[in-house]
Amino acid sequence: MSIAGFFKKSITVARVYGIPVRIDYRWFGVVALSVWLISSNLQGNVQLGNVRLPPLDPTTAWLLGVITTAGLFLSVFGHELSHALMARAEGIEIEEIVLHPFGGLARMRSAPENPRAEFRIAIAGPAASFLFAILAFAGAKIADSGGFIAPAVVFFLIAGGNLLLAVFNLFPGYPLDGGRVLRAILWRRSGNITEATRLSGICGILIGVTLILFGIYIMIAPNWRPSQPYFMGVWSILVGLFLLDTAAKLVKSARDARVVTVEDAMSPAIEIAPELTITQLIDDFLPLYRQTSFPVALDHQLHGILTLEDLKSLPRERWRLTRARDVMRPIAPRFFVEPSTTLDHARELMKRNGVGSLAVINNHGKLVGFLQSGKLRPRATRKKGNDSRAL
């Protein structure tokens, strides 16, 4: 069994905005461990900013341990909820939110369709954690200035936990949020999500290996003296194994995936001649071809794109005198792609070019196909399983 597959059994504890919230049953062990660690530290000398606090009595220490742990895990939930709500804003349905021993994940029914959506969904979690950290630090400052030491300790620990969560998640490696931000940037630059995914997965592998080596170092280094050296070392190793396993699977799937290109999805080009009148277009072409735009070409040489939207401002009495070349949008780089262009990049270009379609030009400059955003029918598509925002 893989490290990631080890964490599967869960129970449903709530529904928030219609999203099921589940807790991995092993999560309760982490909660108990967190309460014990916090209470044990509070029974010793605690450094709160520049002030060293006296040891707390066991009852108070355990109570603050429970409250602080609850605040930390609510923060993790808020982190994942931010991912989920941003995904909904991008039109992606959320299957569930799961809290597991290594943090949490918001499982989406489909992957983002473009780099912009990927970036916004990925960055939402760390942004929320930074916000929680600022609010908690403010709460600690207010409580401390009022002489409320116990609330100040709780707020300070929650602030530190959120800050650590935000910074760690911004490490540029999959499945961390920073790795998904990196993937969005690489995807935007290259137009190739498969290669962007592979590279972000490799970065995730490097981060996982680093955490494993760091954990081993903590456990065996003679000069390292944290309060719980073996716990910190084991935890770093486990998190590193989790990241390594998940990232390695991503890299393998990216290598095995076939990139879907424009050639897989394009339709035959229904050319209209530059000298064709609008009356002929309306009477002869539209009844046969239900398209919202047409390539204007002569002998497979592209001249421009004509859209029905542009004809709305043309008076009906001028249809017989107006030719396609008079109302077409002249050829420009945003209106055509090569057959080898990835379909993901073509989709993004169609969203930005103002016509929702693309002519397909081969390396000899000849028109060989046509794409419309609402009529993409790839013969072979990239598999889109459940995507998730982890940790």
| Helix 58-89, helix 27-42: angle, nearest 10 | 130
How many CA atoms, within 13 angstroms, populate the side-chain half-sphere of residue 145?
5
CATH architecture of 262-375: Roll (3.10)
Per-residue pLDDT of the chain (391 residues; tens, 9 = 90+): 444 444 456 788 888 888 888 888 777 888 888 888 778 777 766 655 555 666 777 888 888 889 988 998 899 999 999 999 999 998 888 888 888 777 778 888 777 878 888 999 999 999 999 999 999 999 988 988 887 877 888 898 899 889 988 999 999 988 889 999 999 999 888 877 888 888 999 999 999 999 899 888 877 775 655 555 566 777 788 888 888 888 888 888 777 665 677 888 888 888 999 999 999 999 888 888 888 899 999 988 999 999 998 888 889 889 999 999 999 999 888 899 888 787 877 888 888 888 889 999 988 889 999 998 766 655 544 444 445 555 5
Which residues sit opposite 279 in a β-bridge? none
The three-state (H, E, C) secondary structure of 280-291, written as one string: HHHHHHCCCCCC
In sequence order, what E strands does 225-334 have? 293-298, 301-307, 329-330
Note the residue count of the chain: 391
Q: Tell me the one-letter amino acid at 210.
A: T
**H-helix or E-strand containing 362?**
none
Rg of the chain in Å (alpha carbons): 28
Please list the residue range(s) of the chain that carry CATH number 3.10.580.10: 262-375
- Residues 121 and 175: their CA atoms lie apart, in Å, by 13
Q: Are 353 and 336 in contact (CB under 8 A)?
A: no
